Structure 1
Amino acid sequence: MGKYNKVLEKVIFGRSDTNVTFSELKQLLLLLGFQERIRGDHHIFSKEGVVEIINLQPLGAMAKPYQVKQVRQIIVRYRLELKND
């Protein structure tokens, strides 16, 4: 199982939203096909077919727990998956 499959599981199961690093969450969204736009410290992610826009800001090196929850809701709602090579 790849690193980002483990990160995806960590986000989906929601056991430790405070233990997801910003870089892991950002890379996970990119691997799920989201496009990133940066404005200051705001990283804005969008994807065709997904109505919601995800706006992330780092909290030091970590992702904010409420933003991890928002990402989880979008992943579950749209049944997004990592492509296996």
Structure 2
Amino acid sequence: MGNKKVLAKILAGIKNVRFNEFDNLIKGFGFELARINGSHHIYNRHDIPELINIQNRKGQVSPYQIKQFLAIIEKYNLSLEDEELFLNYEFSKHAIQQLKSYGRNQIKLEWIEETLKNPDKTIVLNSENISSAETCCWKCISEYGNRALKVVYNQIKDPPLIITVYFDRGYKK
């Protein structure tokens, strides 16, 4: 399973995560395996002072260790390094919270990618104030009952910052 899918699975609240998939995900965020001490696998990243410690428990990762990892990527606003599109975007803390809040009815990262690449509708807000210009994109997602996914991002930031993402009940074409 690819890192995008593993991350989406975790953000959806699924607690059964295979150790080897989680290991790859951690490495996808730029961490390196520093050492192994018994069942503890310790990862570090040159620009992050905190370590990530996970245990291989019968091929699975403990849910509390997943929470600790998510807290670190949120705290330092980290993104996957090996993802073609999302390497070029950052997610705000609010956007990450939105992704988590949908639970089992998750917003898939592929849907966000499709909304950004091929939107049904696009509006630029605050265009007179170039430093805070926000772009809103909508895309009807057929796999989700043709509901409109709205992605708001700031393209002026480098890399562009995804501010929020949600299904917009009031969307009109």
Give the TM interval when normalised to the shorter protein.
Answer: 0.7 to 0.9
Structure 2 regions of 5+ residues with no counterpart?
85-173
Percentage of matched positions with identical amino acids: 38
TM-score of the pair, normalised by structure 2: 0.44
Return the alpha-carbon distance in structure 2 between the equivalents of residues 10 and 76 of structure 1.
Answer: 16
Q: Structure 1: which 4+ aligned runs deviate by more than 2 Å?
A: none
Counterpart check, 1:48 vs 2:46:
yes
How do 1:1-85 and structure 2 match up within 5 A? 3-11=2-10, 13-16=11-14, 18-36=15-33, 37-83=35-81, 84-85=83-84
Matched to 2:28, the amino acid is: L
Residues 1:72 and 1:14: Cα distance change in structure 2 (over 3 Å): farther
CA distance in structure 2 between the aligned counterparts of 1:30 and 1:38, rounded to whole angstroms: 15
Asked if 2 retains the 8 angstrom alpha-carbon contact of 1:19 and 1:62, the reply is yes
d(CA) in 1 for partners of 2:52, 2:36: 12
Distance 2:42 2:58 in 1: 17
Partners of 1:41 and 1:57 within 8 A in 2: yes
Whole-angstrom distance in 2 between the partners of 1:68 and 1:14: 12
Contact 1:14–1:69, Cα closer than 8 Å, also in 2? no
Q: Which segments of 5 or more consecutive residues in structure 1 lack a partner in the other structure?
A: none
Aligned residues: 82
Structure in which a larger fraction of residues adopt helix: 1
CA drift of 1:31 comes to 1.7
Q: Which structure ranks higher in relative contact order (CA pairs < 8 Å, sequence separation ≥ 6)?
A: 1
Question: Is the alpha carbon distance of 1:10 and 1:76 closer, same or farther for their aligned partners in structure 2, counting shifts above 3 Å?
Answer: farther
Query: Matched residues in 1 for 2:54 and 2:77: separation?
Result: 20
- What is the rounded CA distance, in whole Å, between the counterparts of 2:53 and 2:64 in structure 1? 11
Post-superposition shift, 1:63?
Answer: 0.4
Structure 1 length as normaliser, TM-score?
Answer: 0.84
Distance 2:37 2:17 in 1: 22
